[in-house]
Amino acid sequence: MIIIKTSEEIKILREGGKRLATVLYKVKDMVKPGVSTKDLDIYAEDLIRNMGDEPAFLNYRPEGAEYPFPASLCVSVNDEVVHGIPNKKRILKEGDIVSLDLGVKHKGLFTDMAITIPVGAVSSINQKLMDTTEQALKAGVDAARSGGTVGDIGFAVESFIRSKDKKNNMQYGIVEVLSGHGVGRAIHEDPYIPNFGKKGKGAKLIPGMVIAIEPMINLGAKNVTLETDGYTFRTADRKNSAHFENTILITDGEPEILTKI
């Protein structure tokens, strides 16, 4: 069921999204060679709790999971696509790219955001992958208009990536088995927001809907595998992947990004 948020809920989500973006950018500033992925998680959790909020992913148990997610921050390095579990032995090194995915529960309501960033200097192929994925998110957000559909968003992301294939002389993989989603009263709500699709297909976009759009783009093929930890998705061909996500509000006009400072 798609939930339309009340104006009171939207106010809370706007504040929560701002807090989430503030935390995520602080964690971003901590990313450098020599830092462990667990260091980033501890810092993120501290920042969230110091604001009086709660991390949304800690102890979250998706359907079918054998155990709840054991951290506040998902940290996915290089060929890890999403849901990487922080580990004190996993040390970031120069040239890595790292995806940070974070959810915050503020006054009972959830927002969700992700960025992928370089660790020190990275190759131009990796930089282009991150830039392209971030721009694909922008294209998806821009297509999220009242009167349109979920398919318009997927179509916009997919068309943008296919246009970049030519420009960058690449054949980027768009992950299909994972998608964006409604968000707000729960961390995952209806509808699914795939990063591919056809214009005019799928659920209608209505003012008051709050959704997370999150393209996951691979340097190689679209296929992913699940690690034995039950959470970490990696690219099947072990080529790098990038992930950007914003929580947005569907309005009568321009979509409003809630996860921003």
Q: Which alpha helices (H) appear in 4-114, and where do they start and end?
A: 7-30, 37-50
Element (H, E) at 173: strand 173-174
**Residue 109 amino acid letter:** L
Q: 134 to each of 19, 114, 230, how far by Cα in Å?
A: 20, 10, 27
- End-to-end Cα spacing for the chain: 30
Instruction: For the CB of residue 183, give the shortest distance to Mg ion in the complex, in Å.
Output: 7
Stretch that binds Mg ion, among 35-43, 91-99, 108-116, 249-257 (CB under 5 A): 108-116
Instruction: For the CB of residue 245, give the shortest distance to Mg ion in the complex, in Å.
Output: 5
92 is an interface residue for Mg ion by CB under 5 A = no
| Residue 112 annotated as binding site | yes
CB 181 within 8 A of CB 191: yes
In angstroms, how far apart are the furthest CA atoms of the chain?
48
| Residue 101 annotated as binding site | yes
Instruction: For the CB of residue 175, give the shortest distance to Mg ion in the complex, in Å.
Output: 13
Q: How far apart are CA 38 and CA 45, in angstroms?
A: 11
Interaction residues for Mg ion, span 165-224 (CB under 5 A): 212
Among 9, 112, 158, 189, binds Mg ion (CB under 5 A): 112
Of residues 150 and 212, the one with the C-beta less far from Mg ion: 212
Stretch that binds Mg ion, among 68-76, 111-119, 170-178, 217-225 (CB under 5 A): 111-119
**Residue 101 amino acid letter:** D
Of residues 112 and 158, the one with the C-beta less far from Mg ion: 112
Instruction: For the CB of residue 168, give the shortest distance to Mg ion in the complex, in Å.
Output: 26
| Residue 181 annotated as binding site | yes
The residue nearest Mg ion at its CB is 112
| Residue 106 annotated as binding site | no
Q: 183 to each of 176, 200, 212, 234, how far by Cα in Å?
A: 19, 22, 6, 24
Q: Residues in the site for Mg ion, rule: CB under 5 A?
A: 112, 212
Binding site, residues?
Answer: 83, 101, 112, 181, 188, 214, 245
* Binding residue positions for substrate: 83, 188
